[in-house]
A and B are shown apart, each in its own frame.
Chain A
Amino acid sequence: MVRYFKKIMHFLLLFSRQGRLRLQKWFTPTPEREKKKIIRDMTAMVLARKPKTCNFLHWMDLKVVYKRYASLFFCLAIDDQENELLALEILHRYVELLDKYFGNVCELDIIFNFEKAYFILDEFLIGGEVQETSKQTVARCIEASDMLQEVKHTHTLAHMLIL
């Protein structure tokens, strides 16, 4: 696997117990074919884990931190030097954000509103790093963006067409 430069997080995957992908975020440029292979490998490895094992795996030169929440597996690949326990906290924070937004989030919410799941993720992480450590701030920003989306095409934005 070619990695272009050192990064904390390499990819984040969400998949169901049947191995269906629900979200994929790649923090390093990866060719399509390799992405598919990685997804297959990750799903196979994580789904094969027995229940009472720890949440860390080794794969190639990366550490994979995974946790199951209801029917979804959250899977984060981090650099070998990184803090796995913090990675668990990152996954947990994302789940909390989804939960706050959707209200008792379940897999169906993420299936039917996948673009929202991405928008929330993009307010929490940027370029493979945590951008905001306050839950409330992230939630407020998502709300504000959503409201902006509802607003019809207003005259204040019209003059931007000229640029």
Chain B
Amino acid sequence: MSPSVRLQEMIRVIRSARTQGEERGVIQRECAAIRAQFRQADNGGRSHNLAKLLYVHMLGYPAHFGQMECVRLIASPRYNEKRVGYLGAMMLLDENQDASLLITNSIKNDLAHSSQYVQSLALCTLACMGSAEMCRDLAPEIDRLLRASSSYIKKKATLCAVHIVRKVPELGELFTPAARALLAEKNHGVLHGAVILITELCERNAQTLVQFREAVPELVHIMRGLVTSGYSPEHTVAGISDPFLQVRILRLLRILGRNNDTASDAMNDLLAQVATNTDSSKTAGSAVLYETVLTVMDIKSESGLRVLAVNILGRFLLNNDRNIRYISMTSLQKIVSTDHNAVQRHRGTIVDCLKDQDASVKRRALELSLALVSAINIRSMMKELLLFLSTCPPELKSHAASGIFNAAERYSPSQRWHIDTILHVLITAGADVRDETVPNLIQLITNASQLHCYTVHKLYRALVADISQQPLVQVACWCIGEYGDSLLQGDCEETEPIQVTEDDILDALETVLQSHMSSPATRGFALTATMKLTSPRQRGEGGRIRSIVSIYGSCMDVELQQRAVEYNALFKKYDHMRAAVLEKMPVMDRSSMGQTNGESGGGGVQELEPTKPKQPEMMVAPQPASQVGGGEGGGAVFLYIVYYGMVTMDPSVAPAAVTVYDKSGVVLKLSCERPLDASQTITLTATNTSDHDVSSLTLQAAVPKNVQLQMKAPSGDSLPARSSAVVTQTVLLNNPNKVGPGWAGTPG
């Protein structure tokens, strides 16, 4: 039986193994046999044994014990053994293995072999896995082969030289003269290798680059020859003469023409010729055209040529082949910032690609569309983008939503349009928007005061239709809580009238509260909104609301339970404060939000405007909890301070003290120190001008969750009569994340 059948026999046996375990068994046996064979003297089957080992290696099994056999086989005088030996070296050895050095000598010898096929093996292996040391050793030999050998060897030597230059860049100088001479070769293989070598040399050495610029006319001549030549059975692919060589020459021209007017001028006509004459119906032609476009855009080309290039990309967009559509869009993406107007001309086609079947094409189309949005086309583009959002694949939804928000932020023609757009996104892709969308939208809505009625109507309708999209539900609840009175009034100029009763609203909020789809945060919004409806301006009926709220007093979720208990307290003990606490929220300023739309948390901090001097906004209950009775020692003065947001303050402006309580001669003032980064110091100063002492004075403070509170010891707890002494207490507030707004803290 001839040895090669044994190899195929082994493969057959391995393949017929029915389980992984069986296969492992067969391979272990075979490897043991191979090892034994390696130890034996030359038996004529060495190459086949190694080949068997290489097959086993490809299946993923260890084969390092074959390394030395490779070295031995490479040194063999037999061609078939050398061939497999070199193949083994390329598969099992790389420059990190010690054994690879051992083959250096064999390679050196084989480079000078009388048979060109043996030389070829050595060249191929050197170019594949030659280490820097080996390259240094053998570089002169390669240079020799570059100059005086057959085309067959020259083309391989050239690519070997490329590898050497990549490994040891200093050796580039050695090959430069030979490379220059090789441009005169007629053989396409050699020419192709030469162009690659020159490209490599130019990319690594600026002086070489300058030197080779003189070769531009020669390259142009070669290229022209290729473009105008007729059919050649050797090199024509789909009507294009040697597309591989054409692309490499175009790449070299790109490098030579970059940042250089003379060189760019010299190649201008040629590029125009290639662009117009190349047939792009098949991939080969498209590859050449693609490379041409890349070259034109990268060198200093005339504007006419640039427009031609962009038009080629535009034509590619209409090609049936989706690969071509895809690369057209990646190219357009790269140039959309520099050649914006040229790309705008193809906007229609690009927008059509949003409907393409291919997900990669869709993704590219989305990126490009977002880049092409401008103030002029915002309305029509947004229509397309919103349509896309409703049908796009899930992995793109988040990106599309944030892109739409950014575009709306920059170019929205009106506030109403802006709000409508955001609502539309929330309805179609609510689950995929970023967290900061909710506060951003709320901020936007409060600022559009003339649209409150319209907004709350729209949101109510959306809420009734679907409560699964959390961000939408949260915003809707918030708005109903704030502007529910507009809803009850029924008519609104901008939308159709709708009859909504208080029970309807409560039904909707209750549905949100009870739905398993609502997240705890959403429930929080709904509960607070319910509570807000009791405020006098909302004409809310306390009864039903009280029962809803008290249910949540025993809720499992701690946050909800806490809120419910507080709200219950507002009904019972602090009913007189209720109206004030549930006042409408003030218009929120952008700078007080601490974040800009669409950006993630960290980045927004730098963009805060530090120039607005503002008092920290506080909402204080105008009525104290109980009278400070004369002579009775006084009760607890409970100030329910709702600390709203963290405002940056102009450091040069000294904030004034705020009087928070002034009754019967007892005056309490709060003053703020200049903030250090994210912290503020608040000092309470209590004075008593009445005739009676006040005792058991304590300050209790409540802050939202995102603010840290540290209370220092008061200077005293009693205020003697007639201002004979003053009590002060300092409170440190720290808002490390500068996020807001937060409100409704715990009663201290």
Question: Which residues from chain A sit less than 8 Å from chain B, CB to CB?
Answer: 5-7, 21-24, 26-27, 29-31, 36, 50, 52-56, 83-86, 88-90, 92-93, 111-112, 114-115, 118-119, 122, 126-127, 129-137, 141, 144-145, 148-149, 151, 153, 156-158, 160-161, 163
Interface centre among A22, A53, A126 (most CB of B within 10 A): A126
Query: Does the CB pair A83–B360 fall under 8 Å?
Result: no
CB distance from A72 to the nearest CB of B (A): 14
Tell me the residues in window 278-306 of chain B with beta carbons closer than 8 Å to chain A beta carbons. 283-284, 286-287, 290-291, 294
Q: Which chain A residues border B117 with CB–CB below 8 Å?
A: 144-145, 148
Binds A, one of B185-193, B371-379, B599-607: B185-193
Query: Does the CB pair B96–A31 fall under 8 Å?
Result: yes
A132 touching B287 in the complex, CB below 8 Å, given contacts A52-B357, A137-B234: no
A53 touching B286 in the complex, CB below 8 Å, given contacts A129-B162, A133-B235: no
Query: Does the CB pair B115–A148 fall under 8 Å?
Result: yes
**Once the chains are docked, how many angstroms separate the CA of A29 from the CA of B132?**
12
**Once the chains are docked, how many angstroms separate the CA of A26 from the CA of B114?**
29
Give the number of residues in B that approach A within 8 Å (Cβ atoms).
73
**Once the chains are docked, how many angstroms separate the CA of A127 from the CA of B90?**
11
Q: B231 an interface residue at 8 Å Cβ cutoff?
A: no
Query: Does the CB pair A56–B127 fall under 8 Å?
Result: no
Query: Does the CB pair B244–A86 fall under 8 Å?
Result: yes
Query: Does the CB pair B127–A86 fall under 8 Å?
Result: no
Query: Does the CB pair A119–B160 fall under 8 Å?
Result: no
CB distance from A124 to the nearest CB of B (A): 10
Given A7-B166, A85-B283, A119-B83, 16 additional A-B pairs, CB 8 A: A5-B167, A26-B94, A27-B128, A54-B325, A56-B360, A83-B290, A83-B294, A84-B327, A85-B324, A86-B243, A92-B283, A126-B128, A127-B128, A133-B242, A145-B117, A148-B117
CB-contact partner of A126 in B55, B160, B237, B294, under 8 A: B160
Q: B438 an interface residue at 8 Å Cβ cutoff?
A: no
Q: B458 an interface residue at 8 Å Cβ cutoff?
A: no
The chain A residue with its CB closest to the CB of B113 is: A160
**Once the chains are docked, how many angstroms separate the CA of A55 from the CA of B160?**
30
The chain B residue with its CB closest to the CB of A127 is: B127
Query: Does the CB pair A88–B323 fall under 8 Å?
Result: yes
CB-contact partner of B79 in A6, A93, A126, A149, under 8 A: A149
CB-contact partner of A115 in B79, B84, B129, B196, under 8 A: B84
Query: Does the CB pair A53–B359 fall under 8 Å?
Result: yes
A-B contact pairs, 28 of them (CB 8 A): A5-B167, A22-B58, A29-B129, A52-B322, A54-B323, A54-B325, A54-B360, A55-B323, A56-B323, A56-B326, A85-B323, A85-B324, A86-B243, A89-B283, A92-B283, A114-B58, A115-B87, A127-B127, A131-B192, A133-B188, A136-B234, A145-B120, A148-B117, A151-B79, A153-B78, A157-B77, A158-B77, A160-B113
CB distance from B89 to the nearest CB of A (A): 12
CB-contact partner of A134 in B55, B77, B234, under 8 A: B234
Query: Does the CB pair B51–A115 fall under 8 Å?
Result: yes
The chain B residue with its CB closest to the CB of A112 is: B8
The chain A residue with its CB closest to the CB of B322 is: A54
CB distance from A98 to the nearest CB of B (A): 16
**Once the chains are docked, how many angstroms separate the CA of A55 from the CA of B54?**
30
Tell me the residues in window 1-58 of chain B with beta carbons closer than 8 Å to chain A beta carbons. 8, 11-12, 15, 51, 54-55, 58
**Once the chains are docked, how many angstroms separate the CA of A17 from the CA of B682?**
70
CB-contact partner of B283 in A29, A88, A118, A131, under 8 A: A88
Q: B563 an interface residue at 8 Å Cβ cutoff?
A: no
Q: B155 an interface residue at 8 Å Cβ cutoff?
A: yes
Q: Which chain A residues border B358 with CB–CB below 8 Å?
A: 52-54
Q: Nearest 10 CB-CB pairs, A to B?
A: A127-B127, A85-B287, A29-B94, A134-B234, A86-B287, A132-B189, A127-B163, A126-B159, A54-B326, A149-B80
Query: Does the CB pair A163–B163 fall under 8 Å?
Result: no
**Once the chains are docked, how many angstroms separate the CA of A95 from the CA of B114?**
32
The chain A residue with its CB closest to the CB of B88 is: A115
Q: Which chain A residues border B162 with CB–CB below 8 Å?
A: 127, 129
Query: Does the CB pair B243–A24 fall under 8 Å?
Result: no
Q: Which chain B residues border A27 with CB–CB below 8 Å?
A: 128
